Homo-oligomer: A and B are copies of this chain.
Amino acid sequence: MSSQPPLGEFDIIEKFFQRSASRPDVLLGVGDDAALVTVPENNQIAISTDTLVEGVHFFSDIPPRALGHKALAVNLSDMAAMGAEPRWVTLAITLPEIDEAWLAQFSKGFYDLAEYFNVALIGGDTTKGPLSITVTVHGVVPEGKALRRDGAKPGDWVYVTGNIGDSGLALAHLQDKISLNPQQLELSLKQHYYPQPRVLAGYGLRDIASATIDISDGLYNDLQHILRKSHCSAVLNLDSLPLSETMNEAVGVDQSIALALNGGEDYELCFTVPESNKGSVDTSLSFSGIQFTCIGQLAPGHGEIKLKYQDKPYQIEPTGWDHFN
């Protein structure tokens, strides 16, 4: 025990989570009954919330800085998937005890990402209990420009940003299912702990994508959400999947495909583009510097996904990420 008196709830907020919000649209930040923000004319508000629970979404030995980053990143990723510009977040954090070194690292991971995207922390709640973090994020998107899941049509092309599967690769190692060498672990853990939300890609897709989702539960599962909402099926060319060299080297092609389809927590975007916009994808995304790959095409249907590898049908267990099963 230090000789300092223990920090109380209000001290935690003041010490770690009350950096002044520098956005001019934040009229009132942390410290009143509610925050107050203004919304630009002719814009809609996108709102999303995600919880991370110890033992379910992360192991107890996750670096606190990574946890702070990830708790915000998974929510910013939802804004990216809507084509929305993230602006304001609230943070509800439940902690078993007050560990100032831990909180300093957690808030650093959180604020570094928040400042990169100019997102203001406008409110929160700190409580005692088993470790869990709930972030609610608010973004703005011009009227009628939001990227939904239900706008895809047969014939549209299916794309993903970045590489997929590396986060699942790191998770498999952390779960002792595979063993990575130090370099492979470092590269894949970076994807697992510090996913980069594809916010800029979301802006670029506003005018060209027919549907968009972020890949949190695995490409297979998340693409199915688009297919079911849009009444389509899909054919995926697995030869085209953007897989990292690290993953191919570590686990070979078949396991890489399995991790890309079902590994989850990539926080890349999966989006569909009509034939007429296919030529514009490069122009629309080039400013973002984000890589993208066409991996398949839609057909009429009700959520079916046909997998092809080297022009032959390919079978894989369609399991995703459901916390309760």
Contacts and interface: CB of A to CB of B under 8 A. Distances in A.
A35 interface: yes
A169 B33 CA distance: 24
A322 B8 contact: yes
Given A9-B323, A33-B214, A90 B136 contact: yes
Interface string A233-261: 00000000000000000000000000000
A35 B28 contact: no
Contact of A92 (B8, B49, B141, B214): B49
B94 A51 contact: yes
Contacts of A10: 322
Task: Report the copy number of this chain in the oligomer.
Answer: 2
B123 A34 contact: no
A166 interface: no
Given A45-B37, A136-B90, A324 B98 contact: yes
A182 interface: no
Nearest to A138: B47
Interface string A3-29: 000111110100000000000000110
B322 A57 contact: no
Contacts of A34: 46-48, 78-79, 81-82, 84, 137, 139
Residue of A41, A51, A82, A322 with most partner-chain B CB within 10 A: A51
A48 B127 contact: no
B324 A12 contact: yes
Contacts of A147: 33
Interface of A: 6-10, 12, 27-28, 31-39, 41, 44-51, 53-57, 78-79, 81-82, 84, 88, 90-92, 94, 98, 122-130, 132, 134, 136-139, 141, 143, 146-150, 212-214, 229, 322-325
